[in-house]
Chain A
Amino acid sequence: MSGPRLFLIGATHHNAPVEVREKLAVDSESALRGELASVSGLRELAVLNTCNRIEFYGVASDEAAVDAVQAVYCARQKFEVGQFESIRIRLTGMEAALHLFEVASGLDSQLVGENEIFGQVKEAYAAAQASGSTGAVLNRLFQKAFQAAKHVRTHTGISSGRVSVANVAVDLATNIFGSLGEVKVLVLGTGEIGEGTAKAFKSRGAEDLAVAGRRIERATEVAGGLGADTVRFEEIDAHLSNYDIVVCSTSAPTTVVSTSAVATAMKKRPARPLLLIDLALPRDVEAAAADLQNVFLYNLDDLAKIAEMNRTAREAEVVKCRELLSHRAASLWEHVQRTLVSGSNGTSDSPRQAEPSPAPPSGP
């Protein structure tokens, strides 16, 4: 194809492992923009820089301009061009448009369906706009990408269901208690998984947390980080009735929470359900506790199964999403082609000089 073209060049988590992505991450987008402004034939440009991808969306008058963008970027990052070419993604025309649609919709994310990427694409576009490097093509492309992303999130199940054990546990709790603002959570064990789950509860509104561990110093330290209380490990049974959710993740070789202890606790609080989340191996909670009225017991396997089901359900939605997005991309492309043809006689041959832009977004 001759004449101006829409292009995408970059690298993502699909082909670049984390140690490579570390080298590809741009520390100062505004400085990079300044250097790219001198590329001849580059008419529009937007940079999407997250911890999982570095992508340049642009409009260039010819392939040489796209090569020049790559060269400037690699030189700045001190990254060998040959190595970059072995891992890069390079698309033009409708394929580039469709790729942005998929990225904004979370289809191309490491965790398919996650929402954070949508905000990151918005930030990237806002930064490009602020630096004056967008034009008729990129403006329309990004706006349509946002519309498409909102559409698929509303009309498909791409974002539904949690896919990490900690978040599945929190979702489970909301199925029992509704809002988590009033629930009391006890974390047994001071390991990483218990702490992570406690953090997930806190981030979703649980305010009343307590930590119990065999080593009281470690329990106090973890509790301090969470803004939680500390409970003496040997007093767990006596305190059990005070809590709605008990997250167990100790490394104890035998059962820590017995059925009789749970039964005794339930007698003191018969009307309130008790959720026991057993993340330990070997298990901390006696399995027979699940048979008690108003007691719900989930172990690591149960949560992993739910997470896997959610992941599978999301993947099934991907096909539906891709179909929706490709229709929208085709429709957009018809319009963009007209813009490119009418703009092929344009006078501007490079994006305007970069202005200071927001800090690079982090996350997926």
Chain B
Amino acid sequence: MHVDLSDRQWLWCAAAFYAAGFLLGTVSIVRGGRMHGLAIYGSILAGYVLQWIGLGIRGHAAGGCPLGNQFEIFQFTAWSAITLYLVIGVTFRSSVLGYFTSCLGAALTILSLSIPAWDSVRRTHIFGGNPWIELHAALAIFSYGVYGLLALTSTLFLFRHFSLKSKRLGGWFSFLPSIMVLDHIEVRLLGAGTALLTLALAFGSVYFTRDTSNVGHFKLAATVAVWAAAAVAFGLRASGRLLAKRFAWTCLALFAAALLSLSAVDESRHPVAPPTPKVSAP
């Protein structure tokens, strides 16, 4: 059977599956029943495969990693976060993380699909055939995906902290993992995200030092600021000076800053190339 869908149609289908996972979890919570962890995981997995296909079509058309505009960057960030969830979600043993991941996936994909302006300009071959620049971009956006999952874990931490301090342990709070488990995962995710971003910046800096005129200073400042904030947060946490609730709020702020920096990244793109015929209009 041949399915002839455009890249955006595939991505809409993916968003629908992420939203279905979120809906499934919400219905369970509202009904006060158990969360269907496997069903949520299945929805996310289906969405992930569909998103992979959609991004694959775009990547093929763009001649590289599909990071040519704000739309693609948001899609890739969501895809990165979900890649990581699918890997660590099994060991996490928490249907609530799946619930929140499906929420993040649905939010990022639906938001990017709903704003046609983000996808009105298509850029192809943005890396100029330089695999190191492509690796730099892919790693940087992947690290933002890691921060996305970190933000989710931090949200869970704050909910768990609230439930313990306010002595409300029933209802959907009972699905939350322990506060220590959440804290450990937060630290690991922050460490992993920061390591990836460091690598990305290292690859990028090689290119930047060779050709300073082609790198937007606003983009550079925004990216380095996100990296510096992450590194400082990690250092403070490791030294025991940023803990518990404050650490969780910092992680949330870090992801918000990372998302805000994406517009700076997008604005620094090179001149636009004509759209490729294989990719549908938004």
Contact status B178-A293, CB under 8 Å? no
Q: Could you say which of A160, A175, A298, A313 contacts B179, with CB atoms under 8 Å apart?
A: A175
Contact status B170-A310, CB under 8 Å? yes
Contact with A along B115-128 (1 / 0, CB 8 A): 00000000000000
Contact status A294-B243, CB under 8 Å? yes
Contact status B174-A271, CB under 8 Å? no
Contact status B240-A270, CB under 8 Å? yes
Interface size on A, residues (CB 8 A): 25
What are the residues of chain B within 8 A of A310 when measuring CB–CB?
170
What are the residues of chain A within 8 A of B253 when measuring CB–CB?
none
With an 8 A cutoff between CB atoms, is A161 at the interface?
Answer: yes
Interface size on B, residues (CB 8 A): 22
Bound-state Cα–Cα, A294 to B246, Å: 11
Contact status A176-B164, CB under 8 Å? yes
Given contacts A157-B34, A310-B170, A313-B170, contact A175 B178 (CB under 8 A): yes
What are the residues of chain A within 8 A of B34 when measuring CB–CB?
157
Contact status B178-A271, CB under 8 Å? no
Contact with A along B219-251 (1 / 0, CB 8 A): 000000000000000000000100111000000
Bound-state Cα–Cα, A161 to B167, Å: 14
With an 8 A cutoff between CB atoms, is B42 at the interface?
Answer: no
Contacting residues of chain B (177-212) with chain A, CB-CB under 8 angstroms: 177-181, 183
From residue A314, how far is it (CB to closest CB) to chain B in Å? 11
Contacting residues of chain A (289-308) with chain B, CB-CB under 8 angstroms: 290, 293-294, 296, 298, 302, 305-306
Contact status A294-B167, CB under 8 Å? no
Contact status A298-B167, CB under 8 Å? yes
Given contacts A270-B243, A293-B245, contact A175 B164 (CB under 8 A): yes
Contact status A294-B244, CB under 8 Å? yes
**Minimal Cβ-Cβ distance residue in A for B241:** A270
Interface centre among B32, B174, B181, B245 (most CB of A within 10 A): B174
**Minimal Cβ-Cβ distance residue in B for A294:** B244
With an 8 A cutoff between CB atoms, is A177 at the interface?
Answer: yes
What are the residues of chain B within 8 A of A305 when measuring CB–CB?
167
Bound-state Cα–Cα, A273 to B164, Å: 11
Given contacts A174-B178, A273-B179, contact A293 B243 (CB under 8 A): yes
**Minimal Cβ-Cβ distance residue in A for B32:** A157
**Minimal Cβ-Cβ distance residue in A for B238:** A271
With an 8 A cutoff between CB atoms, is A319 at the interface?
Answer: no
Bound-state Cα–Cα, A306 to B244, Å: 24
What are the residues of chain A within 8 A of B177 when measuring CB–CB?
178
With an 8 A cutoff between CB atoms, is B165 at the interface?
Answer: yes
Given contacts A157-B34, A172-B169, A310-B170, contact A296 B178 (CB under 8 A): no
With an 8 A cutoff between CB atoms, is A64 at the interface?
Answer: no
Bound-state Cα–Cα, A157 to B170, Å: 12
**Minimal Cβ-Cβ distance residue in B for A272:** B180
With an 8 A cutoff between CB atoms, is B58 at the interface?
Answer: no
- A-contacting residues of B (Cβ < 8 Å)? 32-34, 160, 163-165, 167, 169-170, 174, 176-181, 183, 240, 243-245
| Subset of 22 A-B contacts with CB under 8 Å | A157-B32, A157-B33, A160-B174, A174-B178, A175-B164, A175-B179, A176-B164, A176-B178, A176-B179, A176-B180, A177-B178, A271-B183, A271-B240, A271-B243, A293-B245, A294-B244, A296-B164, A305-B167, A306-B167, A309-B170, A310-B170, A313-B170
Of all A-B residue pairs in the complex, the 4 with the closest CB atoms, nearest first, are: A178-B178, A178-B181, A270-B240, A177-B180
